[in-house]
Amino acid sequence: MQPKDTVHVEDTVNLEDTVHSDNTVHPDDSAHPDDSAHPDDSAHPDNPVHPDNPVHPDNPVHPDNTVNPDNAVHLESTVNETTDARSPQHRHGRPDPAADQFSAGFWDAHYATKHRLWSGNPNRWLVAEAAGLAPGRALDAGCGEGADALWLAERGWRVTGTDVSGVALDRARAAAERAGAADRITFRLGDLRADIPPAGAYDLVSAQYLHLPSAVRRPAYAALAAAVAPGGTLLLVGHHPRDLDGPMPRPQDPDLFADEDELAAALDGYDRESGWDVLVAEARPHPGTHPDGHEVTVYDAVLVARRRR
């Protein structure tokens, strides 16, 4: 992900949100059911979302802000199920059209606006889908402040967490140290736009709410699918396009949203017909908290696929 120092996916951590995994709330974003602020959110795990804060999963995006269609937005939820979107913006709620919203510099500056961007809770669909899997090697792409990676490590997984922000990764490492899980997690700086994970290396590959423009998203998701080992699981989650017409404010750029069919298309370039069993490809509803405080129903596009041995 990032122009600053990119490292092979094996060598870096989350782009986002993609890029990744801790969410922020944006009036244009919905809260992820799993997050009381995305696992990594407090709104990206650590922070509360304020309408004037930039969206990085932990920050809400001001209703008057729009996301540049050329930039990827990581839409993740934030604390108290407020919405969150990884859609970068200035501290005062004004988007910077000239900024590379996926660069390390952009996300480092965004993380620096708060002591904690996300909630510190794991994403709901990761918990639902991975709780019954036998531990092995996992890739958390767009790991943010590390809540998902930590949850996996505490359940016996050996985890590689990648993100475009070095600031987020420093917080993730500190959280792993505090939890006594540092020996089971490797955090690496990486940009999904350029860093390709090693093929067939992971028993679980998870990417939560990495809202990228389709021209970037499709090859990035295909690369993540290729990183799944035989017998391994691919978990892709994002806010569903139907939310664009729903009660929760979202960035009004359809190109940033993929439905379950498009997520499944990530398998096409990797022998989908003979090589994968699609276990789940659906729009999943869950409760979310609207910026004005009332509860609404929002939808996530969820893909769970297992690579055949």
Q: Which CATH number fits the domain that encloses residue 219?
A: 3.40.50.150
Please, which pLDDT band fits residue 188 given cuts at 50, 70 and 90? very high
Contact residues for 262 (Cβ-Cβ < 8 A; gap 6+): 214, 301
pTM for the whole thing? 0.71
61-113: per-residue pLDDT in tens?
Answer: 332 333 333 333 443 333 333 333 344 333 333 335 456 777 888 889 989 99
* Strands (E) located in 169-217: 185-189, 202-208
Residues in the chain: 309
Token look-up 């994002």 returns 238
Q: What whole-number distance in Å separates Cα of residue 12 and Cα of residue 6? A: 7
Over residues 177-181, mean pLDDT:
98
Residue 215 CB neighbour total at 10 angstroms = 10
d(CA 89, CA 65): 8
- Please write the tens of the pLDDT for every residue from 192-245: 889 999 999 999 999 999 988 899 999 999 999 999 999 999 999 999 999 999
Residue 255 has pLDDT above 50, yes or no: yes
Q: How far apart are CA 81 and CA 50, in angstroms?
A: 13
Contact 117, 26 (CB under 8 A): no
Sorted by sequence, the CB contacts under 8 Å of residue 296 that are 6+ apart come out as 30, 246, 247, 248, 287, 288, 289, 290
Question: Which of the listed ranges 20-24, 99-103, 117-121, 292-296 does the model predict with the highest average pLDDT?
Answer: 292-296
Strands in the chain per DSSP E: 137-141, 158-163, 185-189, 202-208, 228-239, 276-289, 295-307
Evaluate if residue 6 carries a pLDDT over 80: no
- Local confidence band at 118 (pLDDT 50, 70, 90 cut-offs): confident
Is residue 177 very low, low, confident or very high in pLDDT (cuts 50, 70, 90)?
very high
Spatial distance between the Cα atoms of 133 and 282, rounded to a whole number of angstroms: 20
Domain that holds residue 43: 1-309
Position 271 scores a pLDDT of 60
How much is the average pLDDT of 58-63? 32
Q: Report yes or no: 121 and 146 within 8 Å, Cβ to Cβ.
A: no
Distance CA 116, CA 268 (A): 38
> Number of structural domains, the chain?
1
Closest by CA to 220, choosing from 230, 231, 234, 232, is 234
Is residue 54 scored above 70 in pLDDT? no
- What is the structure's pLDDT at 274? 63
